[in-house]
Amino acid sequence: MIRVTQLRKTYPGQAAPAVAGVSFTVDEGRFYTLLGPSGCGKTTTLRCIAGLEQPDSGTIELGDTVVVSDRVNVPTYRRDLGMVFQSYAVWPHMDVFENVAFPLRVGRRRMRGEVVRQKVTTALELVGLSGLERRMATELSGGQQQRLSVARAIVREPKVLLLDEPLSNLDAKLRERMRGELTLIQRRLGLTTLFVTHDQIEALSMSDQVAVMKDGIIVQQGTPRDIYHSPASEFVASFIGSTNLVPGEVEGPGENGTVRVSTPCGTLDCETSYDWAPGRAVMIAVRPEEIEVHRRSGSSHGALEAPNVIAGKVQIGLFTGTFVDYHVEVDGMTLQARSGSRRPMEEGEDIQLVLPPNACRLFPRDFGPDRAETSATAMSELGTENGGAG
Amino acid sequence: MVVLAVATLLYLVGGPLVMLLVASFKETHNALPFEGGVPWTFQNYVDVFLNSQTYRVLVATLVFAGGSLAVSFALAIALAWLIERTDLPFRNVVFVLIVAAIGMPNVIAAIAWALLLNPTNGMLNIGLRGLFGLAGPGPINVYTIPGMIFVQGLALVPITFLLVVAAFRAMDASLEDAAATSGASPPVVARRIVLPLLLPALLSALVYQFVSVVESFDIPLVIGLRGNITVLSTRIFIEANPAAGLPDYGLASAYSVFLLAIAIGPLLLYNRVIARSSRYATVSGHSFRTRRVRLGRWKPAAVALVATFIVFIFVLPTLTLLWTSLQSFYAVPSAESIGRASLDAYGAVLRSSAFRNAIGNTLLLGIATGLASMTLGLLIGWILVRGKSRLRFLLDVLAFTPHAMPGVIIGLSVLLLYLLLPLPIYGTIWIIVIALTTQYVSIATRLMTGGIAQIHGHLEEAAATSGAGWGHTMRRVVLPLVLPAFLNGALLVFLLSIKNLTLALMLYSPKSVVLSTLVWNLWDKADTDETAVVGVFMICITLTLAILLRRVGGLGSLRT
């Protein structure tokens, strides 16, 4: 279990805090991810937990041990953890075996001989490096160094496992494979894991819980599904996945208990459980894959009988294999939409787009200069009500 | 282009070495080595190796070298660690001050310490006697091997420091973090991770500085000879410039070959270290900001160490010279002698034509050497980095060789070469320029190789695919991009040339006096106040140059 309470950290010589009051709990055996753009404070938070940085205030508990509080600050080497670094940080002057054996030989509970050999062998087996014990660490490929680094982090069966962007130095193919393997290892060992990444796919696919960070605070926290389908703010909506953002103004109630919003693309009905006052400036977020794309000419069913039908013209269709990514011009705006790649639309073709009301998520647009703070407020204001949409 | 570069280097480096080797087999007790009818002989080597004095000199050289290296490395590692890895206050200022000390000429430092610590009337000695109620002479005698080690050790610190700092910076701090998260306490991290990882870089710095210390000449000349301590470099100088009688160039050459062997030995070992250390190349991830060790209650001790060092390395020597320059007769600071302070010596020096000639010659020498060696370095560097010629290997070896050649040897061999060649440069400033260019072509090549390697090859290829020929590409793309590195290198060579006493002293004539030889001659004549005045001028020039060297960090690439 990891419990972080009101963590704050400002680096000397910098005005803005790197971490500005972060609290979260990672339950025993869970995989928890801090996701955010660079500079959002996620790595600093992780390094505070590792003891590599000293926070200005706040408490950190690992298991039932308080490692950071007003009164205590346990040094890194006395914390029961394993960490995987972005650069892998495998020691070039040791071979594979010695790298993995190191944590067993230096800690408070030192082990010897056969025990060390057994544990190292098990760890190397788990990451698929058996047989390479006597290789020098630098003779390994990038992917193998990464596995070595994981083996070293888990070999002494720590209470918590910390992963600092461990996949970002791998090439795309290998990264995809390691996502699966790393998750599998974590599940098998039941390790309480904190993962830091800027890659949304890693965050969504590997985690039990995801916390999205921005400017030193957590702006939304939830299961990967929650975060993806019910982003609580414009920032989360645009940071996770690709999103069309359409500005508009609330007109009044629409059909079937929706809210009607006038936008440059026409009026759109949006499903929401929050009571929006008419005249309120809003932003509508729609994911490209939720927009239906229909041919206008030659269509068997003529005019579409659905809410939120808008007309557009295909600017370009980008074939990606699984789908075609259309850029559609609608009244001077460009919307992104995705559809299957079997019968692609022509470039320049006039088409119709359907934006289902339950795919249109509303956010307030009256952000002051400090968008982060307002959007965080907006989140707490809307958080739960918006919860079930989508 | 390649042929031109190889030919120039062969002329600059190969020619003098051949002369040296030939001369060492000539019977030259009463003749010049290349006069007609001088017989071939092994006698010089017999004289060198069967003389018990040679072994005394060898032992003195090795003790001096070992001691100075120990002092400078202990200090440099401590300073580098404090600045790179701890929360020492004013780290940036300290860094600049240490690097600025590169501007302190060794001959000046030696003279200043002789003024401070000579056993009869050294200022510090007299102060210590007063403090502890001792009688003279002493208590400290700088004219001893420990005295030489102290002064030389301090003088070696700035470059050693830069080499060690480069090693610290090249080490990914997450390697240390990884050990801490594995449960290793700080002492274990230091022993099992930091030290083994720094070792290759420290060893190569050690070998580099070993060459610097066995070739060191100024300090053995000023301090050693007064205490009857001869090391190999001063031995060679004495054979080539005896106080009385004719120089014995054959014997001096044989000593040189011996010294060359000593200097090269560790370099060969060092190449093996390099070969082994390449396996330490790590995946260079972008490393998070480096954690700094909190000094806590050790902070005052650390600050005191750093402050003492800075006072010793240039504040105290500079003040000593300033004080001495204001006293017509050498006097220890006291209320009475303050009253006698005068600018008389400054007037005398400024009026003398010798000083004005020396200033002119020094500037000419510095600029000419700076431009010549950097131009050569640029050409060689480009060929080494981008060229495809098979002669590159030869070029690399030739450009590296002068680095292993002690200054006295370059001085002697250049002298021998122009005794033979009928070029009218013997006794002019230009022979010194040629010798200095030979000496510094290694550094120039290192700096330019680094500068050119930083320009991505694609930039030149982009110029080529835009239709630019080789000349255009060099002029419009390569030169503008390496210009900062070029100018910085020229500034560094300028500085090193001005500081260099060895070559100037071996090759000068009354027509080609420069500041360093002028200082030495005045000191040798016991003209203390005028020595100090010229010394003050010299420090002003060299310290300014050292501060102008903004990117001395590039000195890290000096590690050849």
Q: What is the DSSP string of B177-211?
A: HHHHHTT--HHHHIIIIIHHHHHHHHHHHHHHHHH
Query: Which residue, A39, A26, A8, A1, is CA-closest to A211?
Result: A26
> Which residue of chain B is at minimal alpha-carbon distance from A167?
B285
Q: Is A196 in a helix, a strand, or coil?
A: strand
Check CB contact under 8 Å for B184 and A106.
yes
Q: If you count them, how many residues does chain B have?
A: 560
In the numeric block, which tokens belong to residue B64?
A: 């001096």
Residue B439's φ and ψ, nearest 5 degrees, are -60, -40
Other Cβ atoms less than 10 A from the Cβ of B316: the count is: 18
Query: Which chain A residues are Cβ-neighbours of B285 within 8 angstroms?
Result: 85-89, 169
Check CB contact under 8 Å for B183 and A156.
yes
Query: Which residue, A273, A250, A245, is CA-closest to A260?
Result: A250
For residues B184 and B177, what is the distance between their CA atoms, to the nearest angstrom?
9
For residues B262 and B232, is the Cβ–Cβ distance under 8 A? yes
Query: Which residue, A43, A23, A35, is CA-closest to A226?
Result: A35
Tell me the one-letter amino acid at A342: R
Out of B181, B285, B286, the one facing A83 most closely (by C-beta) is B181
Inform me whether the C-beta atom of residue B193 falls under 8 Å from chain A C-beta atoms: yes
Tell me the one-letter amino acid at A46: L
In this prediction, residues B307-317 reach a mean pLDDT of 91
- Whether the bond between A278 and the residue before it is cis, its omega within 30 degrees of 0, is no
Q: Which of B278, B283, B287, B294 should one mutate to test binding to chain A, selecting the residue with the greatest count of A CBs within 10 A?
A: B283
The whole-number pLDDT of residue B494 equals: 92
> Which residue of chain A is at minimal alpha-carbon distance from B285?
A87
> How sure is the predictor about B306, in pLDDT bands with cuts at 50, 70 and 90?
very high
Which stretches of B311-406 are DSSP H helices?
316-325, 335-339, 344-351, 353-386, 392-404
Query: Starting from the edge strand earliest in sequence, which strands make up the sheet with A160-164, in order?
Result: A81-84, A160-164, A192-197, A31-35, A209-214, A217-222
In the numeric block, which tokens belong to residue B394?
A: 């030869």
For residues B417 and B423, what is the distance between their CA atoms, to the nearest angstrom?
10
Check CB contact under 8 Å for B193 and A92.
no
Inform me whether the C-beta atom of residue B187 falls under 8 Å from chain A C-beta atoms: no
Q: Which residues of A touch B (CB under 8 A)?
A: 11, 43, 47, 50-53, 75-79, 81-83, 85-93, 102-103, 106-108, 136, 138-139, 142, 145, 149, 152-153, 156, 162, 169
For residues B178 and A91, is the Cβ–Cβ distance under 8 A? yes
Q: What is the per-residue pLDDT across B186-237, written as a single tens digit (0 to 9) for each?
A: 888 888 988 888 887 888 888 888 888 988 899 999 998 888 898 988 888 8
Residue A19's φ and ψ, nearest 5 degrees, are -130, 125
Q: Is A331 in a helix, a strand, or coil?
A: coil
For residues B61 and B56, what is the distance between their CA atoms, to the nearest angstrom?
9
Check CB contact under 8 Å for B283 and A136.
no
Give A137→chain B minimum CA distance, Å: 9
Contacts of A370 by beta carbon, 8 Å cutoff, 6+ apart:
none
The whole-number pLDDT of residue B424 equals: 81
For residues B412 and B223, what is the distance between their CA atoms, to the nearest angstrom?
22
Query: Which chain B residues are Cβ-neighbours of A51 within 8 angstroms?
Result: 180-181
The whole-number pLDDT of residue B277 equals: 52
> At CA B131, angle to CA B130 and CA B135, rounded to 5?
45
The whole-number pLDDT of residue B8 equals: 85
Contacts of B54 by beta carbon, 8 Å cutoff, 6+ apart:
B48, B255, B258
For residues B484 and B487, what is the distance between their CA atoms, to the nearest angstrom?
5
Inform me whether the C-beta atom of residue B195 falls under 8 Å from chain A C-beta atoms: no
Check CB contact under 8 Å for B178 and A83.
yes
Query: Which residue, A227, A224, A277, is CA-closest to A250?
Result: A277
Inform me whether the C-beta atom of residue B484 falls under 8 Å from chain A C-beta atoms: no
Tell me the one-letter amino acid at B250: G
Q: What is the per-residue pLDDT across B23-49, written as a single tens digit (0 to 9) for each?
A: 888 777 766 776 667 778 777 787 778
Q: If you count them, how many residues does chain A have?
A: 390
The whole-number pLDDT of residue A208 equals: 94
Range with lowest mean pLDDT among A113-122, B168-177, B360-369:
B168-177
How many CB pairs below 8 Å do chains A and B form together?
109
Check CB contact under 8 Å for A91 and B291.
no
The whole-number pLDDT of residue A26 equals: 95
Inform me whether the C-beta atom of residue B184 falls under 8 Å from chain A C-beta atoms: yes
Contacts of B197 by beta carbon, 8 Å cutoff, 6+ apart:
A91, A92, A93, B171, B175, B280
**Rounded average pLDDT per 10-residue block, chain A, 390 residues:** 94 89 94 93 93 92 91 89 88 89 84 89 91 88 90 91 89 87 91 93 93 94 90 87 88 87 90 85 90 73 74 89 89 88 83 90 64 39 36
3-state SS of B109-166 is HHHHHHHHHCCCCCHHHHHHHHHHCCCCCCCCCCCCHHHHHHHHHHHHHHHHHHHHHH
Give A46→chain B minimum CA distance, Å: 12
Other Cβ atoms less than 10 A from the Cβ of A319: the count is: 10
Contacts of A89 by beta carbon, 8 Å cutoff, 6+ apart:
A149, B172, B174, B175, B177, B178, B285
> Which residue of chain A is at minimal alpha-carbon distance from B195?
A93
> At CA A203, angle to CA A197 and CA A206, rounded to 5?
120
Check CB contact under 8 Å for A87 and B281.
no
Out of B178, B183, B188, the one facing A89 most closely (by C-beta) is B178
3-state helix, strand, coil in chain B (%, to 5): 75, 0, 25
For residues B89 and B83, what is the distance between their CA atoms, to the nearest angstrom?
9
Contacts of A7 by beta carbon, 8 Å cutoff, 6+ apart:
A19, A21, A22, A23, A45, A48, A55, A57, A58, A59, A60
Other Cβ atoms less than 10 A from the Cβ of B142: the count is: 24
Query: Which chain A residues are Cβ-neighbours of B184 within 8 angstroms?
Result: 77, 102-103, 106-107
Out of B186, B281, B286, the one facing A138 most closely (by C-beta) is B281
For residues A213 and A32, what is the distance between their CA atoms, to the nearest angstrom?
13
The whole-number pLDDT of residue A381 equals: 40
> Which residue of chain B is at minimal alpha-carbon distance from A89?
B175
Give A58→chain B minimum CA distance, Å: 20
> How sure is the predictor about B276, in pLDDT bands with cuts at 50, 70 and 90?
low
Check CB contact under 8 Å for A81 and B185.
no
DSSP single-letter state for residue A78: G
Query: Which chain A residues are Cβ-neighbours of B288 within 8 angstroms?
Result: 43, 47, 52
Inform me whether the C-beta atom of residue B174 falls under 8 Å from chain A C-beta atoms: yes
Distance from the first to the final alpha carbon of chain A: 32
> Which residue of chain B is at minimal alpha-carbon distance from A100?
B182
Check CB contact under 8 Å for B196 and A93.
yes
Check CB contact under 8 Å for A87 and B196.
no
Give A50→chain B minimum CA distance, Å: 7
Check CB contact under 8 Å for A88 and B285.
yes
- Beta strand A31-35 pairing with A192-197: parallel
Contacts of B41 by beta carbon, 8 Å cutoff, 6+ apart:
B25, B26, B27, B250
- Whether the bond between A166 and the residue before it is cis, its omega within 30 degrees of 0, is no
Give A133→chain B minimum CA distance, Å: 17
Check CB contact under 8 Å for A77 and B282.
no
Give the percent of chain B with pLDDT over 90: 17
Out of A85, A107, A139, the one facing B177 most closely (by C-beta) is A85
